[in-house]
Homo-oligomer: A and B are copies of this chain.
Amino acid sequence: MPMIETFIAENEDRFLEELKQFLRIPSIGALPQHSEDMVRCAQFAVDSLLSAGMHRVEAMPTGGAPVVYAEWLGAPGAPTVLVYGHYDVQPVDPLDLWTTPPFDPQVRDGELYARGAADDKGQLFMHVKSAEAHIQVNGRVPVNLKFLLEGEEEIGSTHLDAFLAANRDLLAADFVVVSDTGWFDRGVPSLCYGLRGLAYLQVDLKGANSDLHSGSFGGAVANPTQVLAGMIAALKDERGHITVPGFYDRVRPLAPEERLRFASLPFDDARYRRDLGVPTLWGEEGYTTLERTWARPTLDVNGIWGGFTGEGSKTVLPARASAKISCRLVPDQDPDEILDLLEARLRELVPPTVAMSVQRLGAGKPVITPLDHPAVQAASRAVERAFQKPVAFVRSGGSIPIVASFQERLGIPTVLMGMSLPDDHAHAPDERFPLENFFGGIRASAYLWEELARG
C-alpha cells in the first residue's frame, strides 16, 4: 500500500480541484429549472470514472435524472462491491445565510465550503479517487468494483427502485458501500449501522375562492392558516409525543445494552445546544438526545406558508394554507403505513370549513445493519488504518431510503462508511466538509478494497 498512499498524498491538490469542479454544478434535483444541470453533473461523474480507469462507464436514463454506472471486474474470486452515492444536492435557500455562494467552492480553515461538499459529492468522490489510486498504481483493484451514482436521492430516489429492479444482474454484488453518513464527532471516526426512514407529505387547505379583505370578511369564515395551525398543533402533545393513532405500534423498543452504548459516547448536551444556537433542547420525554435523534421517530413541519408573507401589513384573509410535514421513522415502522396513519389523522382533524388535499412526497424504510457482518468488520479496520483511531459504532437520524431497497430488493447488506461531521451543515447554508476527512476518506476507501479482499 505505500505506493498507493504516496499516490494519494501527491495528488491531493488535483483531487481537490476536481472536486471543486464537481461542486460548481448546481445539481438541485428538487427544482425543475436545474434539469440540465443534472445531466451536466452526471456527465462530470462519467468523465471522472473514465479517467479513474473504470470500465463500461455510462449515464443511464431513468424517468428522471440519469444514473451513472461504472465497473471494474478484473478480480475473479474476490468479492464484488457496489459503491452507491448521489450527485444531486439539496436546494440552497435561504441564500442570504451563505458566507460564500453555495456553488462557488472555497476552502477556509481546512474546510471545503459548498452545497454538496459533504452531502454527497465530496464523499462519493473519495471512492472514485481510491479506485483511481489502485488502478494507476497497481493496474488493478483488489476487489470487483461497481459504481452506482444516482441524481434523485434528495427528492426520494424516485426512479431508483425501478432501476434496481430492471438491472439486477448488472448490479449484482456481495455488499454495498455507502458514504453518505457522518462521524460521531470531529476526531471520532465512526461506522453507522442504523438509519431512520422517512415519510413525507404536503397538506394544502383551501377556504375561499380568493384571498379576502380581512376587514370586510374577517369573522365570517374560517381562516385556512389558523385551521392548519390547529391541525399541526394537534399532531404532538406537550411531552413531545406524536398523537397520530397507531404511530408507535411498530417501533422497536431500545434495548438496554444499546442505550448503554449510546450513553458511553462522548456526547455533551450543553455543547450540542450551543452549537445549534437553540435556547434549549427539546424532545420526546424519557429519552436522551442521541436516543431521540437515532432511535425514536419524529414528526416535523419542514415548511409552512399561507397568505401575505412580504414586508408590511397586508390585511388579507388568506384563501389557502399549506405545510410540508415529514416523519423520521425507526425499525420496524413502515413508511407507507405511517403515511396512511398520518393522512387519516389529518382527515379526522380537518374541519368542514376548508377543503383539504394531501400529496405524498417521499417514503423510505428505516435500516439496521448487523455489527458482526464481515464487510462492517473490514470497513472498521480500513477506517482505523486511515485515521489511526478506534472506530465508534453509531446510528444516524437521517434517511437513505435506497439502503433499505438494497437490503430488501437485492438482498445485499450495506456498509455505511461516512466521513462527514455533525456540524457540516448538510441541507443548510454554509455546507462544508473537512479536507482532512476527504483525503483520509480516500485512504480509508483504498484500504477497504484491500481489507475486503482479505475477507
Contact = CB atoms under 8 A, between A and B. Distances in A.
Contact of A310 (B91, B284, B296): B91
Contacts of A221: 276, 278, 281-283
Contact of A303 (B29, B212, B307, B351): B307
A222 B312 contact: no
A398 B430 CA distance: 45
Interface in A421-439: 422, 425-430
A262 B322 CA distance: 36
Contacts of A30: 310-314
Copies of this chain, complex-wide, total 2
A324 B236 CA distance: 23
A355 B214 contact: no
Contacts of A398: 213, 215-216
B301 A31 contact: no
A314 to B, nearest CB: 5
A213 B304 contact: no
B217 A397 contact: yes
Contacts of A303: 225, 306-310, 314, 316, 318
A256 interface: no
Interface string A84-101: 000000110110010000
B315 A427 contact: yes
Given A229-B228, A313-B326, A284 B219 contact: yes
Contacts of A335: none
Contact of A219 (B155, B298, B399): B298
**Interface size grouping (class) on chain A:** 35 or more
Contacts of A200: 313, 315
Interface in A205-245: 207-223, 225-226, 228-230, 232-234, 236
Contact of A216 (B207, B316, B396): B396
A305 B304 contact: yes
Given A218-B397, A315-B200, A207 B278 contact: yes
Contact of A210 (B316, B317, B352, B428): B428
A328 interface: yes
A300 to B, nearest CB: 5
Interface in A155-200: 155-156, 182, 196, 198, 200
25 contacts: A91-B314, A155-B312, A155-B313, A198-B215, A207-B278, A208-B278, A209-B277, A213-B426, A213-B428, A214-B298, A214-B326, A215-B328, A216-B293, A216-B397, A216-B422, A218-B300, A219-B284, A219-B296, A221-B276, A223-B301, A226-B233, A226-B300, A302-B318, A305-B305, A314-B324
